A = this chain, B = another copy of it.
Amino acid sequence: MKFPTNVLLGLTLSLVSFPASADEGMWLFNDLPKAQLAEKYGFTPSEAWAEHVMRASVRFNSGGSASFVSSRGLVLTNHHVGADTLQKLSTAERNLLEDGFLAKTPAEELPAPDLELNQLVSIEDVTERVAAAVKEGMPAAEAMAARRAVTAKIEKESLEATGLRSDVVTLYGGARHHLYRYKKYTDVRLVWAPESGIAFFGGDADNFEYPRYCLDVCIFRVYEDGKPARIEHFLKVSAGGVSDGEVVFVSGNPGRTQRIFTVAALKYQRDHYLPFVLDYLRRREILWQQFGLEGEEQARRAKDDLLGIQNGRKALGGRLQGLQTPAFFAAKEAEEKELRQRIAGDEKLKQRGAAWQMIEDVQKRRKAALGRTGEFAGALYDIAQQLVFLSIEDQKPSGERLREYRDSARESLLQGLFSPAPIYPDKAKAELADSMALFMERRGGDDELVAKALDGKSPETRAAELIDGTRLTDVDYRKQLVSGGRRAIEASDDPMIRLARLMEPEARRLRQEQEELAEIEQQAYSQVADVLFAIHGTDTYPDATFTLRLAFGPVAGYRESGSVIPPWTTIGGAFEHEKRHGAKDPWILPKSWHAARSRLNPETPMDFVCTADIIGGNSGSPVVNREAELVGVVFDGNIQSLTANYFYSDEQARAVSVDVRLILEALRKVYNAGGLAGELGR
């Protein structure tokens, strides 16, 4: 599965890239490649088409994509995008993640504790206004402050004028700034989810593999004023589905790509960043595996985290493998060398040449900073840290605050802070203890801040004392601290708040350091982008930024190890796949599927692949045809697509989608949900 983007530990920059292959590109909705589409596919998306697809697309702010699929607010996304909510709605007695859920009536639909869904409504270019605020020659810290201030101002003005969530998005490595306005939905309710056994059939073993046999979808409904929201732009369902070779369009929110990272930046990824993060992911994977061994309920509590970590480990491992392929690097080096030689000989561009060295210097500083941290892990510590930061940030004007504490982001921040989602003390202790042990490992046991944070105790003892002692599990107490402001925080004797206060200066210092590095990179990459615009023109797309993009390409199989992988799998194939693996975990189809087997048409398409250019964050993206009808839902890329962060290829890399015909067949024949199936597209 593609991972929700917020946990991808992604990089912070958006970069420009130039399509080398025909179907490459994660295109901006206000700058679609019309000429290219017309030439290659004889299709020119009209303004109305683009507007409709854009407004029918939904972003899960927690990291993921989705679409409106009915006039009464139904939202279709991946099971693994909804998994966080399924986990939060589950208890020891009712495991929705594992066993699935169906609301038979609207009254049975389950409110998600903290989802925020965004519908993109408009895009406005504000590059000039942002650029005017940052003067040439400003030191990084000052430039950063100026950029932060103007950005906050633009967003606040827009919010006040329109009432819409307003985000300034940095594109092309800083060369462009666009203002995205979203309609927000925060009353989101669970309608239907299948069992994880079919949503994630084949588990970690099949993840990123193809052929696949997954029904990785679930359905929510957005409400307004306590009633199902009226949705104007929703996707109709394609009656006949899609056919082999037909071009399809993917409208979703790819997380982060690094397509035109300089060679120095890629080397930092290869030799330092990715190995470092992978060590961390393996540590967390073992942590949750071990926690799950303590009992069935513990395994349930850790399940969603474990799946996420395993997915990240496999995805980043694939990226690292790509970077460890010398041929890839040789090509990048040759390309960069040629470009720099060309600049050196160009009077106008010459001065931009320094950007590459700036980027290389930043990598050295990034390397030195790897592993430095001023915070601990786990929901309760996160809450404490946010409360402490909020109390301090709120004493400054909005434009001077850290980004997530600015006025225009307040609603989203508080929704998370006041989430009633369950927090399990045993799990919180394991997580906090491990992060305290890691903090000690990284700074050394003699470090002064380590000694203060641990208060003379071992990580396990200290974590247990903190979790047992904190009142932050109580949402009312959090509210009380927010409304009490800085005075309440300073007066609080809650041990977790005290710990977060102790850590705050270090956390702030390290964050400042990171943001300054990002600012320097942004300035450098915007020069790189200028060079590329000057040489290649501007008919291109920026690197992904977890904002809405359109990708496209035909449904197409591929060759692997000498055999041809067909584009489709079928329901019949799923049963065969189960049998081939001896019906052992993770290849056990749910009981509901075995019970329904005789009713199911084994020829029904299950999953299919296409060449559209996607990445983590695209999970749940609708796949539509030329008529803007829904034909599928993206849920994964194959193993060959894992290097898509750095380059696009249509040789073997494929996006993997659930076929809409499977969704209809399963709803009707497995889940006895004909009513819901009938509502799709209406």
Contacts and interface: CB of A to CB of B under 8 A. Distances in A.
Contacts of A325: 457-458, 461
Interface in A254-293: 267, 270-271, 275, 279, 282-283, 285-286, 290, 293
A204 interface: yes
Contacts of A444: 267, 271
A320 interface: yes
B279 A321 contact: no
Contacts of A279: 279, 282-283
Contacts of A324: 437, 440, 445, 458-459
Given A267-B446, A271-B444, A451-B326, A321 B437 contact: yes
Interface-centre pick from A444, A445, A446 (highest chain B CB count, 10 A)? A445
A270 B443 CA distance: 11
B205 A445 contact: no
A42 interface: no
A451 B329 CA distance: 12
A157 interface: no
A127 to B, nearest CB: 36
A441 interface: yes
B294 A456 contact: no
A53 interface: no
Nearest to A310: B286
Nearest to A442: B275
A307 interface: no
- How often does this chain occur in the complex, in copies? 2
Nearest to A458: B325
Given A286-B285, A313-B286, A454-B326, A445 B321 contact: no
A375 interface: no
Interface string A413-447: 00000000000000000000000010011001110
Q: How large is the interface on A (under 10, 10 to 19, 20 to 34, 35 or more residues)?
A: 35 or more
A440 B321 CA distance: 11
By secondary structure, the A interface counts as helix
A460 interface: yes
Interface-centre pick from A204, A271, A285, A313 (highest chain B CB count, 10 A)? A271
Contacts of A326: 445, 451, 454, 456-458
A582 interface: yes
Interface string A451-472: 1001011111100000000000
Contact of A460 (B293, B321, B451, B456): B321
Nearest to A274: B441
Nearest to A286: B282
A323 interface: yes
A651 interface: no
Contacts of A460: 321
Contacts of A446: 267, 271
Contacts of A582: 296
A267 B437 CA distance: 14
A584 B293 CA distance: 11
Contact of A437 (B320, B441, B461): B320
A323 to B, nearest CB: 7
Nearest to A296: B582
A320 B458 CA distance: 11
A446 B363 CA distance: 15
Contacts of A285: 282, 286
A457 B326 CA distance: 6
18 contacts: A267-B444, A271-B444, A271-B445, A282-B283, A282-B285, A285-B286, A286-B313, A320-B437, A321-B437, A321-B458, A324-B437, A324-B440, A324-B445, A325-B457, A326-B445, A326-B451, A326-B454, A326-B458
Given A325-B458, A326-B457, 19 more contacts: A204-B293, A205-B294, A267-B444, A267-B446, A271-B444, A275-B441, A279-B279, A282-B285, A282-B286, A285-B286, A296-B584, A321-B437, A321-B458, A321-B460, A324-B458, A325-B457, A325-B461, A326-B456, A329-B445
Closest 4 CB pairs of A and B: A205-B293, A325-B458, A275-B441, A271-B444
